[in-house]
Structure 1
Amino acid sequence: MAYRILVLYGSYRADRMGIRLAQFVVDGLRGMGQEVELIDAKAVGLPMLDRMYKEYEKGEAPAVMEELAGKIRGADGFVFVTGEYNWGIQPGLKNLTDHFLEEWFWRPAAIVSYSAGRLSGARASTAWHGTLSEMGMVVISSTIGVGPIAQTLSAESEPIGEGGKALERSFPRFADDLLWWIEAAKAQRARKAPPY
């Protein structure tokens, strides 16, 4: 069975490397037969958070926000691909995520992190775990960390070097974990309405 999965990415930098990892995740999940869409915060272009989607009257939210809210509500699960900025999370991805709340509820989320250095965005990954949990998602225990990203994925999102080999080995287990939780959450939502 194919599940609807959104892969969210948030760098606004001119020479962004993380897009390689986001595309690798999209391609990997599609290769497993899933219906996957990349949501690129830079391409979506939401302004700095002023009003959340839920704070607009019905039908008055900006069209881009309304469209994204529908995609989030229609998804079975999420993958957040995050870089690490000064030991923290990317502002672009956080800004996109914060525009919504109830739309995220009751679905699993996975975190894939990266950095230019060897720590692979681990601090950003840790920070995202609490944030996504607070926003009503079940964060799976499997994660992927890539670093240095330039030595792991080519410009075409192809694995290279020892880091690329490690990424290829870790991805199937990560994806299987996410798909298990997606299946479990979807079955539970069909069996019983969420409590709120």
Structure 2
Amino acid sequence: MCLLAKIVVIVGSVRSERQGIKVAKWIVEKLQDRGHQVSMVDPMDLELPLLDKMYKEMKSPPVKLQELQKIIQDADGYVPITPEYNHSVSSSLKNTLDYFLEEYFFKPSAIVSYSVGPFGGILAGNHLRQILAEMGMPAIPSQLPISKVKDVFDNDGKLLDENYERRIAKFLDEFEWYVSAFTKQREIGTPY
């Protein structure tokens, strides 16, 4: 059983007809159903400029960025939702992640990917796995790819493909195990 945790779901697209917001809201709901405190980070709301300086390098960060830093810092784990753009992650997701570094250390992440095609953004997820490891928030072994995302959710974001109910349950069970393990180890101490 997992400790109730603070989880941050990070939306990876700012496109006008983005499908990822439906995926993100569904993930938030599933995590809340399990009793977790969930924050959703949407780069569209943040309006972050292209990265010039990381948060720690800024003398007077904007209020929105200060609020985001607190959410990221206080989290026990992260669920980035990545679309697949040209076989990789979106620039908006990478830009949002790159504002921080030490805030992520020794906390797990769980990758959810999606695409309009049949492979569910698996290539973007593989790239994101490398990025997250380098940032200190290694991804759990499983990934939740959502293929043909437009067929999985309706226009209001309601799940249409019930097969994903079973898949999300197993995926979140695994994520919770890692969140619990990392939380207990952070209480003992970290290498640096």
Scaled by the length of structure 1, the TM-score of the pair is: 0.94
**Distance in 1, Cα, partners of 2:113 & 2:89:** 10
Q: Tell me, what secondary structure is at the counterpart of 1:33?
A: coil
Shift of 1:89: 0.7
Shift of 1:157: 2.3
Structure 2 residue identity aligned to 1:120:
G
**Distance in 2, Cα, partners of 1:155 & 1:18:** 12
Shift of 1:5: 0.2
Structure 2: where are the runs of 5+ without partners? none
Which residue of structure 2 lines up, in the alignment, with residue 165 of structure 1? 162
Shift of 1:98: 0.6
**Distance in 1, Cα, partners of 2:138 & 2:128:** 12
Aligned pairs, number = 190
Which residue of structure 2 lines up, in the alignment, with residue 72 of structure 1? 72
Matched, 1:190 2:187: yes
Structure 2 residue identity aligned to 1:32:
R
Shift of 1:62: 1.8
**Distance in 1, Cα, partners of 2:44 & 2:12:** 7
Maintained 8 Å contact 1:10/1:42: no
Shift of 1:138: 2.1
Which residue of structure 2 lines up, in the alignment, with residue 61 of structure 1? 61
Maintained 8 Å contact 2:129/2:138: no
Which residue of structure 2 lines up, in the alignment, with residue 118 of structure 1? 118
**Distance in 2, Cα, partners of 1:178 & 1:87:** 25
Shift of 1:165: 2.1
**Distance in 1, Cα, partners of 2:20 & 2:147:** 10
Deviations 1:84-118 (A, max 9, x none): 00111111111000111111111000000000111
CA RMSD of aligned residues (A): 1.0
Which residue of structure 1 lines up, in the alignment, with residue 46 of structure 2? 44
Structure with greater strand share of residues = 1
Which residue of structure 2 lines up, in the alignment, with residue 103 of structure 1? 103
Superposition pairs of residues 13-52 of structure 1, within 5 angstroms: 13-52=15-54
Superposition pairs of residues 121-132 of structure 1, within 5 angstroms: 121-132=121-132
Deviations 1:134-171 (A, max 9, x none): 000121012111110010012232221xxx22211100
Shift of 1:56: 1.8
Q: Tell me, what secondary structure is at the counterpart of 2:133?
A: helix
Structure 1: where are the runs of 5+ without partners? none
Maintained 8 Å contact 2:144/2:168: yes
Shift of 1:17: 1.1
Matched, 1:2 2:4: yes
